């Protein structure tokens, strides 16, 4: 690899003159410029971004941590974020922790080392302090740390409410909703379960939350779980779960001969393409992934510029897409 000095030597100028041509920071006589450009071509010169970044004290890279990039929710989000970053001259470094606490910790450690300029956090297995005192611009997704740490999130209370309405209109009597074991008050998506439960109970409808531990993205595991649920709770006539487990449940229910939506209503939560690629149109609560992705980047860019944030809590409405797995809307195709 040839350096800027090699070019300078070949063109009979000083290194800084080459730099000036490169960045257009000052006037260079057309003649000198020509000579330098010629030399750059001949040597096949490519500026060293590492050295550049070192000088400017920035790398031009933003990291995003996700539990698993395979997961459609995060891969979609990553796409929107990547697009937005690219528009602004940043590259995305994607870090998939595999739901491993240690691995997230290690990544956070590495990321402090000037290798990235900021971080978008799709994981949250650490203590809140780890995010609060990160030392670099950071945006949380779906997880509340403190009023000082910006967080971008869907209106999960609305999501829970819309789902509840759907079950109510469908005439359900006993609804199961599948949540995650690790959920604390900080995990904002938990709100959907809370509101769903409350809204149904107010109408005198039985509702029950089932918290499971799913540290892997494992469809067969969801399928097994669904079979167990159908055995253990034969009287349920409604279920809400994230896209992937909801899809598995649907499959398991059909396999044992349940009629959808006559016997059981299914509401899918998230709205990734998994909820869309089924033969049946699945009734789905859609999170505004594109909005969330764009906003995260917007906020991060502000932080990078040193601008103040007007607010650190950014919440966006969800949407319900009625389908063939609930009885509230009678849609015939």
Give the residues lining the site for DNA (CB under 7 A): 1, 3-5, 12-17, 19-20, 22-23, 25-29, 31-33, 47-48, 51-52, 54-57
Nearer to a second copy, 194 or 251 (CB): 251
Q: Which of 24, 113, 231, 305 binds a second copy (CB under 8 A)?
A: 113
Cis peptide before 295 (omega within 30 of 0): no
Q: How far apart are CA 164 and CA 110, in angstroms?
A: 43
Q: Are strands 265-270 and 174-180 parallel, antiparallel or unpaired?
A: unpaired
288 binds a second copy (CB under 8 A): no
Tell whether residue 69 is a contact of a second copy (CB under 8 A). Answer: yes
C-beta of 170 vs 247, nearer to a second copy: 247
Question: Which single residue is written with the structure tokens 């494992």?
Answer: 218
- Picking from 315, 295, 326, 321, the residue whose alpha carbon sits closest to that of residue 120 is 295
| Site size for a second copy (CB under 8 A) | 55
Q: Is 186 in the site for a second copy (CB under 8 A)?
A: no
Provide, rounded to whole angstroms, the least separation between the CB of residue 277 and a second copy: 4
**DSSP secondary structure string for all residues of 139-164:** EEESB---TTS-EEEE-HHHHHHHHH
Residue partners of 139: CB distance under 8 A and separation at least 6? 118, 119, 120, 121, 150, 151, 152, 296, 299, 300, 303
Rounded CA separation 295/131 (Å): 19
- Minimum distance of DNA from residue 38's CB (angstroms): 14
Residues 6 or more apart whose CB falls under 8 angstroms from that of 300 comprise 62, 118, 120, 137, 139
| Phi, psi for 273 (deg, rounded to 5) | -65, -15
Question: Is residue 92 involved in binding a second copy (CB under 8 A)?
Answer: yes
Q: Which residues 48-67 are close enough to bind a second copy by CB under 8 A?
A: 48-51, 53-54, 59-61
Choice from 2, 6, 219, 227 touching a second copy (CB under 8 A): 219
Contact, 207 vs 229, CB < 8 A? no
Residues in contact with a second copy, shown as a per-residue x/- string from 119 to 158 under the rule CB under 8 A: ----------------x-----------------------
Among 26, 273, 307, 331, binds a second copy (CB under 8 A): 273
Check: CB of residue 197 under 8 Å from CB of residue 204.
Answer: no
Residues forming the site for a second copy (CB under 8 A):
1, 44, 46-51, 53-54, 59-61, 68-70, 72, 75-76, 78-79, 82-83, 86, 91-96, 98, 103, 109-110, 112-115, 135, 219, 244, 247-248, 250-251, 254-255, 273-274, 276-280, 333
């Amino acid at each position: 690899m040839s350096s800027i000095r090699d070019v300078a030597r070949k063109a009979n100028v000083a290194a800084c003159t080459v730099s000036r041509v490169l960045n257009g920071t000052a006037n260079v006589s057309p003649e000198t410029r020509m000579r330098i450009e010629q030399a750059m071509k001949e040597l096949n010169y490519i500026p060293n971004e590492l050295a550049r970044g070192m000088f400017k004290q920035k790398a031009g890279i933003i990291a995003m941590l996700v539990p698993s990039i395979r997961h459609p929710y995060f891969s979609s989000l990553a796409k929107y974020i990547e697009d937005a970053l690219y528009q602004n001259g940043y590259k995305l470094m994607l870090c998939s922790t595999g739901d491993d606490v240690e691995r997230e910790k290690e990544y956070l450690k590495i990321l402090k080392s000037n290798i990235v300029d900021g971080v978008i956090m799709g994981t949250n297995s650490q203590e809140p302090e780890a995010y609060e005192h990160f030392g670099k611009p950071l945006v949380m997704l779906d997880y509340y740390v403190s009023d000082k740490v910006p967080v971008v999130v869907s209106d999960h209370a609305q999501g829970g409410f819309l789902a509840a309405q759907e079950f109510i209109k469908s005439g359900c009597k006993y609804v199961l909703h599948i949540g995650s074991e690790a959920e604390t008050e900080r995990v904002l998506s938990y709100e959907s379960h809370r509101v769903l439960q409350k809204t149904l109970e107010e109408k005198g409808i039985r509702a029950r939350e089932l918290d499971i531990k799913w540290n892997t993205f494992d469809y067969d595991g969801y399928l097994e779980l669904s079979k167990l649920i159908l055995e253990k709770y034969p009287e349920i006539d409604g279920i809400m779960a994230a896209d992937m487990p909801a899809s598995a449940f649907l499959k398991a229910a059909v396999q044992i001969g349940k009629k959808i939506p006559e016997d059981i209503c299914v509401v899918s939560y998230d709205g990734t393409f998994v909820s869309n690629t089924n033969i049946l149109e699945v009734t789905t609560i859609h999170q505004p992934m594109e909005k969330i992705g764009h906003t995260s980047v917007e906020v991060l860019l502000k932080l990078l510029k040193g601008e103040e944030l007007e607010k650190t809590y950014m919440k966006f409405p969800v949407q319900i897409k009625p389908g063939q797995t609930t009885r509230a809307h009678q849609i015939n195709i």
